[in-house]
């Protein structure tokens, strides 16, 4: 008699958050408030059965380039001593502790420093359910301002495997770069987590969302789209399915929120297979 495979298909309950935009690098109280907000969202995500929570780029502080600039007359190299690093480190430690208490894997956007680098990097930390740092992704495709005045560039793609689902990581404006998604498709990713700070301007932020929808459909990947509340009224955070359509979104309101949606392995066939066949025929 033929046997029936009863092995359950791999899946992941992905929580995607939108958080309050905070831009003053010296405001330690705001960073503390950001950590409390993140911990509340972590508790909500876990209560709703999430396996992983995705947070925006620079979750705790997305520094205003003018407040970091060494010149008040023009945008110049950033003076990173103005960032409340000690408070930021304490906030990250609190979030790691929260991840351990909740047993919730968490992807946090934060600035990181390396001893040999003159500038920090805009990073995504993957905090495991034991509170340890499992992986770090450093943004590779920097905007002109980020590259010229703010951050050190990252150099490698990063994937993580959770519950049989492979996730790629992307940050900032990388949603506009097809090679980022092609690289993750080639690496066997089922989904890409894109954490950014979409602009408050409706046209500009919607342009990023349109790119995310297109990347999902072209590459047959689910996309976690996490941004701040500044763009929530017209481009809320959420999960995009591999068909290039929204599967779930946070409320279209400028307030912190989280949405939970189950994603699975990337589907075979569809636009992804058609595109790869066309490329192979060249």
The per-residue pLDDT for range 101-115, each reduced to its tens digit, is 999 999 999 999 987
What pLDDT does 272 receive? 66
What pLDDT does 4 receive? 60
Report pLDDT digits (tens) over 41-91.
999 999 999 999 999 999 999 999 999 988 887 888 989 999 999 999 999
pLDDT at 277 over 80: no
DSSP for 222-247?
A: EEEEE-BGGGTTTS--EEE-TTSSEE
Report pLDDT digits (tens) over 198-255.
887 888 888 999 999 999 999 999 999 999 999 999 899 999 999 999 999 999 999 9
pLDDT at 273 over 80: no
What pLDDT does 279 receive? 64
Task: Enter the DSSP assignment of 267.
Answer: P
94 exposed, middle or buried (CB, 10 Å; 0-12, 13-18, 19+)? middle
Mean pLDDT of the chain: 93
What pLDDT does 8 receive? 80
What pLDDT does 72 receive? 80
Residues ≥6 apart with Cβ < 8 Å to 97: 131
pLDDT at 142 over 90: yes
Residues 201 and 72: their CA atoms lie apart, in Å, by 24
What pLDDT does 204 receive? 85
As a whole number, mean pLDDT of residues 135-155 equals 95
At 5, the pLDDT band (50, 70, 90 cuts) reads: low
pLDDT at 127 over 80: yes
Residues counted in the chain: 282
At 258, the pLDDT band (50, 70, 90 cuts) reads: very high
Buried b / exposed e along 194-213 (16+ C-beta atoms within 10 A): bbbbbbbeeeebebbbebbb
For residues 124 and 108, the answer to whether their CB atoms sit within 8 Å is yes
For residues 165 and 12, the answer to whether their CB atoms sit within 8 Å is yes
At 281, the pLDDT band (50, 70, 90 cuts) reads: low
At 128, the pLDDT band (50, 70, 90 cuts) reads: very high
pLDDT at 93 over 90: yes
Report pLDDT digits (tens) over 21-44.
999 999 999 999 999 999 999 999
- Phi/psi for 39 (5° steps) reads -60, -40
What pLDDT does 270 receive? 66
At 7, the pLDDT band (50, 70, 90 cuts) reads: confident
What pLDDT does 214 receive? 97
Compute the Cα dihedral for 87, 236, 106, 152 and give only its sign. negative
């Amino acid at each position: 008699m033929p046997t029936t495979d009863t092995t359950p298909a791999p899946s992941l309950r992905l929580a995607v958050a939108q958080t309050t935009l905070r831009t003053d690098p010296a405001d330690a109280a705001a960073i503390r408030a950001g950590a409390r907000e993140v911990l509340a969202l972590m508790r909500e995500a876990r209560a709703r059965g999430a396996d992983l929570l995705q947070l925006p780029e620079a979750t705790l502080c997305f520094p205003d380039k003018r407040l970091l600039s060494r010149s008040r007359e023009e945008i110049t190299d950033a003076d990173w001593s103005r960032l409340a690093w000690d408070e930021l480190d304490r906030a990250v430690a609190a979030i790691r502790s929260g991840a351990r208490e909740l047993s919730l894997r968490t992807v946090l956007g934060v600035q990181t420093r390396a001893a040999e680098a003159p500038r920090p990097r805009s990073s995504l930390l993957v905090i495991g359910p034991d509170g340890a740092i499992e992986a770090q992704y450093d943004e590779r495709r920097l905007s002109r301002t980020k590259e010229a005045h703010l951050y050190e560039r990252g150099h490698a793609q990063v994937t993580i495997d959770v519950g049989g689902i492979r996730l790629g990581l992307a940050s900032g404006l990388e949603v506009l770069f097809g090679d980022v998604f092609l690289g993750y498709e080639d690496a066997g990713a089922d989904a890409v987590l894109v954490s950014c700070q979409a602009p408050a301007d409706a046209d500009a932020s919607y342009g990023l969302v349109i790119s995310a929808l297109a990347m999902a459909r072209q590459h047959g990947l689910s996309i976690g789209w996490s941004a701040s509340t500044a763009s929530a009224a017209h481009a809320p955070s959420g999960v995009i399915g591999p068909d290039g359509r929204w599967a779930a979104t946070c409320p279209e309101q400028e307030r912190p929120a989280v949405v939970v949606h189950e994603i699975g392995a990337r589907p075979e066939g569809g636009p992804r297979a058609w595109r790869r066949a066309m490329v192979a025929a060249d």
